[in-house]
Amino acid sequence: MAEDLQRRLRDDFEKAERRVEKAMEMVLSPPEVEVGTTPHDVVYEENKLRVLRYRPVTKKVSPIPLLMVPAMINRYYVLDLKPGRSLVEYLLGRGIDVYMLDWGVPGSEDRILTWDHYITVYLHNVVKQMKKVSKAKRVSLLGYCMGGTMTVIYASFYPNVVKNLITLTAPVNFHDSGLLSLWTKKEYFNVDKVVDVLGNVPPHLMQGVFTMLKPMNQFSKLVSLADKLHDNDFVEQFFAMETWVNDTIPFPGEAFRKYIRDCYQENLLCQNKMEVGGQLVDLKRITSALLIIAAAKDHICPPDSATILQDLVSSAEKQVVVLPSGHVGIVSGGVASQFLWPALGDWIAARSNAV
């Protein structure tokens, strides 16, 4: 009996070892996966950025268009990962007129572009063009992560333009319970030296920081892949996400300087002390219908960083939803299709018909 048990254990171990080796081979030489494939047209370009307008799939399309604003350092297609795993695709099916801001990839010449420029010039021009194309007077904005912080600032400047505001794991209080809040303190992190030496902050530096936030995550992902190599859908989804995770882009130096200094180090935004484009950001000026979505397991934007916004705005209608997910899985993982997409679709659709 003991020998049979030892043999079975040895066989199981060898099989597991082969699966891990196969998973490692795939990670080191990943298969090509198409991402961001939902049909669209480019309706605006400025410097590196583009605005995509997705082609409708329903006969009736809402008169209030929706602009999705991702973080400046991540590619937009996490919101349109692949068929069946695309928030864009789902919202199109709900009759929403969906636009996407693709920030593009900044070059070394863009190191002088400021945080203020990205909001008061780029984002403002995008919204103006979106209104022109859709012939709408008011719009909905959905900001993801840092993109949510930017849309919050924009909505405070243009409360008569932004009808609906959705913040998705978007930090507002930067002195929160997360490690990023600790690591970026002035006594630990000299942002001026980083920008003065590097100019644009390179992707590998930022990616290294995010990896250190959850250092065992790389190992756990490998184990999950090894355990599900037989599941083609899982494997395709895994490598679609890995494509996005490894497709980070530089953070323009001057924009990074202000973002770190004013947000993380001084925490000016939630105190109504931040100046953008020479104008004080007063969150009480936000009157848009507001939906705040946070992720309970978020290690980048803890829930307390995002949900504080409900107490800082003047919106008559506001709602907070905290989902059992992490920062990325909330938009494209299993929780996304089960919880986020229906809740988001219902909320936007109900507020996208009346001008």
Looking at residue 294, its pLDDT comes to 96
One-letter identity of residue 234: F
Report if residue 143 sits inside a domain.
yes
Report if residue 24 sits inside a domain.
no
Q: How confident is the model at residue 228 (pLDDT cuts 50, 70, 90)?
A: confident
Q: How confident is the model at residue 225 (pLDDT cuts 50, 70, 90)?
A: confident
pLDDT, tens digit (0-9, with 9 covering 90-100), for 247-298: 889 999 999 999 999 999 999 999 999 999 999 999 999 999 999 999 999 9
Report if residue 45 sits inside a domain.
yes
Q: Kindly state the tokens that stand for 279.
A: 């104008």
**What is the CATH number for 73?**
3.40.50.1820
Q: What is the mean pLDDT of the chain?
A: 90
When mean pLDDT is compared across 91-105, 212-226, 302-316, the lowest value belongs to 212-226
Which of 328-332's residues contact partners 24+ apart within 8 Å by CB, and which partners?
328/78, 328/241, 328/245, 329/295, 330/168, 330/169, 330/293, 330/295, 330/298, 331/78, 331/79, 331/87, 331/144, 331/168, 332/78, 332/81, 332/85, 332/86, 332/87, 332/237, 332/241
Rounded CA-CA distance 4/239 in Å is: 38
Task: Say which of 40, 263, 298, 301 is annotated catalytic.
Answer: 298
Task: Say which of 40, 97, 263, 327 is annotated catalytic.
Answer: 327
Sign of torsion over alpha carbons 206, 208, 211, 215 = negative
Q: Please say whether the beta carbons of 102 and 247 come within 8 A.
A: no
Q: Is the pLDDT of residue 299 over 80?
A: yes
Question: Domain of 296?
Answer: 33-350
Q: Kindly state the tokens that stand for 193.
A: 């030296």
Rounded CA-CA distance 61/69 in Å is: 20
Looking at residue 22, its pLDDT comes to 67
Q: Is the pLDDT of residue 234 over 70?
A: yes
pLDDT, tens digit (0-9, with 9 covering 90-100), for 141-155: 999 999 999 999 999
- CA-nearest of 172, 197, 205, 214 to 329 is 214
Q: Please say whether the beta carbons of 288 and 164 come within 8 A.
A: yes
Average pLDDT (30-51) is: 92
Looking at residue 26, its pLDDT comes to 64
**221 CB burial (10 A radius; 0-12, 13-18, 19+):** middle
Looking at residue 69, its pLDDT comes to 98
Q: Kindly state the tokens that stand for 74.
A: 């991540």
Give, for 161, the enclosing helix (H) or strand (E): none
Q: What is the DSSP string of 251-313?
A: B-HHHHHHIIIIIIIT--GGGT--EETTEE--GGG--SEEEEEEETT-SSS-HHHHHGGGGT-
More confident call, 21 vs 209: 209
Report if residue 19 sits inside a domain.
no
Beta-bridged to residue 143, according to DSSP, are 69, 167
pLDDT, tens digit (0-9, with 9 covering 90-100), for 69-83: 999 999 999 999 999
| Residue 298 appears among annotated catalytic residues | yes
Looking at residue 28, its pLDDT comes to 66
Rounded CA-CA distance 305/171 in Å is: 5
Report if residue 196 sits inside a domain.
yes
> In total, how many domains does the chain have?
1
pLDDT, tens digit (0-9, with 9 covering 90-100), for 91-116: 999 999 999 999 999 999 999 999 99
Which residue is it, tokens 């997409």? 341
- CA-nearest of 124, 71, 72, 131 to 97 is 131
Q: Please say whether the beta carbons of 139 and 67 come within 8 A.
A: yes
Q: Kindly state the tokens that stand for 22.
A: 């196969």
Task: Say which of 145, 263, 270, 301 is annotated catalytic.
Answer: 145
Report if residue 267 sits inside a domain.
yes
pLDDT, tens digit (0-9, with 9 covering 90-100), for 152-173: 999 999 999 999 999 999 999 9
Q: Is the pLDDT of residue 355 over 60?
A: no
Q: How confident is the model at residue 16 (pLDDT cuts 50, 70, 90)?
A: low
Beta strands in the chain (DSSP E): 40-46, 49-54, 66-69, 98-102, 139-144, 162-168, 275-276, 279-280, 289-295, 318-323
Report if residue 324 sits inside a domain.
yes
Looking at residue 166, its pLDDT comes to 98
Report if residue 9 sits inside a domain.
no
Looking at residue 237, its pLDDT comes to 82
Looking at residue 163, its pLDDT comes to 97
Rounded CA-CA distance 257/207 in Å is: 17
When mean pLDDT is compared across 26-30, 158-162, 195-199, the lowest value belongs to 26-30
Beta strands in 49-161 (DSSP E): 49-54, 66-69, 98-102, 139-144
Sign of torsion over alpha carbons 271, 102, 132, 137 = negative
Q: Kindly state the tokens that stand for 158.
A: 């243009």
Looking at residue 288, its pLDDT comes to 97
Q: Is the pLDDT of residue 345 over 70?
A: yes
